[in-house]
Amino acid sequence: MRRPGAPFIGTLYFIVIAVFLYIPIFILVVFSFNDSVILVFPYKGFTLRWYGELLKAKELLKAVGNSLLIGIVSSTVSTLLGTMAAVGISRFRFVGRELFLAVASLPLVIPYVVLGVALLVFFGMVGVSLSLWTVGIGHVVISIPYVLLIVASRLAGFPPNLEEAAMDLGATYWQTLSRVTVPICAPAVAAAFLTSFTTSFDEFAVSFFLVGRESTLPIYLYSQLRFPSRLPLIVTLAAVVMVSSMGVLALAESLRRKT
């Protein structure tokens, strides 16, 4: 039996949570148009100067390029590996299946700082120099569980007899996988890729330990916080990144809902 006032309480709870989450982002966007290096109210005036300054900062653009490169490459690799793992777990029963699933999900519960230190020690032991490649490997490690869970949830949503029917009609397993399974899971795979890309693009802790001499966007933002005169530029860039990330996540969620 539904209690009186329950819909109102639920709506109020949702509004409070939404305000708590999105007010800081809204403030970032507001101050990105503030014509002052001091981020306080009252507003000093409206300006687009900081957005123009973003295009002139060569080091910043290089960091953005590094983050985009790492995000695209690591998301592609993690989507491929995570999709293969999801198919294996969902369609096959093998010895050690539960152990494999538990190990694959560990990056979801291990703090990224601990994971970054562990990867730093590992690369030091095997003699691998820190670079953007090591950052990409770290991002693949933390993105695979997201891909695995998203794609596996879609595979659990349609019956395996579709694949069996395709193979009964003469298709091989790989033909069935490419012509039946993958097309049906395509929205989930796309959502997993976008989720992995957003995770990689915004990741700081793992990148901080593995980046070497190069710089990614989150690390560049952190390094610029020491200079008060650069703060408006950092706020503007943060506003752009946050709005873009929200757009990518909204797209990923819409694709996931189609699965």
pLDDT digits over 115-143, tens only?
Answer: 888 888 988 888 888 888 899 999 998 88
pLDDT at 3: 58
CATH number for the domain including 143? 1.10.3720.10
Q: Is residue 50 a part of any domain in this protein? A: no
Peptide bond into 42 cis (omega under 30): yes
Q: Is residue 13 a part of any domain in this protein? A: no
pLDDT tens for 162-211 read 777 777 777 777 777 777 777 778 888 888 888 888 888 888 888 888 88
DSSP state of 5: T
Higher-pLDDT residue of 239 and 118 is 118
Q: How far apart are CA 233 and CA 238, in angstroms?
A: 9
Give me the domain span that covers residue 198: 58-257
The residue with tokens 């996540």 is 249
Q: How far apart are CA 143 and CA 145, in angstroms?
A: 6
Q: Is residue 207 a part of any domain in this protein? A: yes
pTM for this prediction: 0.75
**Residue 132, token pair as written in the block:** 């953007």
How many domains does the structure of the chain reveal? Answer: 1
Q: Is residue 16 a part of any domain in this protein? A: no
Q: Is residue 51 a part of any domain in this protein? A: no
Q: How far apart are CA 259 and CA 191, in angstroms?
A: 10
* Listed residue (146, 18, 35) closest to 86, CA to CA: 146
Instruction: Count other Cβ atoms within 10 Å, centred on residue 119.
Output: 21
Higher-pLDDT residue of 14 and 132 is 132
Q: Is residue 94 a part of any domain in this protein? A: yes
Q: Is residue 151 a part of any domain in this protein? A: yes
Q: How far apart are CA 47 and CA 52, in angstroms?
A: 10
Q: Is residue 172 a part of any domain in this protein? A: yes
